[in-house]
Chain A
Amino acid sequence: KQEVTQIPAALSVPEGENLVLNCSFTDSAIYNLQWFRQDPGKGLTSLLLIQSSQREQTSGRLNASLDKSSGRSTLYIAASQPGDSATYLCAVSNDYKLSFGAGTTVTVRA
Chain B
Amino acid sequence: KAGVTQTPRYLIKTRGQQVTLSCSPISGHRSVSWYQQTPGQGLQFLFEYFSETQRNKGNFPGRFSGRQFSNSRSEMNVSTLELGDSALYLCASSLAINEQFFGPGTRLTVL
Enumerate chain A interface residues (CB-CB to B < 8 A). Answer: 31-32, 34, 36, 41-46, 49, 89, 91, 93, 95-103
Contacts and interface: CB of A to CB of B under 8 A. Distances in A.
Interface residues of B, number: 25
Interface of B: 4, 31, 33, 35, 42-43, 45, 48, 50, 55-56, 58, 88, 90, 92, 97-105, 107
A42 B42 contact: no
Contacts of B43: 89, 91, 98, 100
Contact of B102 (A44, A101, A102, A103): A44
Contact of A97 (B33, B101, B102, B105): B33
- Secondary structure dominating the interface of A: strand
A99 to B, nearest CB: 7
Given A96-B56, A97-B56, A46 B102 contact: yes
A102 B56 contact: no
Given A31-B97, A34-B100, A43-B104, 14 more contacts: A32-B99, A36-B102, A42-B105, A43-B105, A44-B90, A46-B101, A49-B99, A95-B56, A96-B31, A96-B33, A97-B58, A98-B33, A98-B45, A99-B45
A103 B99 contact: no
B17 to A, nearest CB: 23
B97 A93 contact: yes
B45 A97 contact: yes
B96 to A, nearest CB: 10
A32 B50 contact: no
A52 to B, nearest CB: 11
Nearest to B47: A97
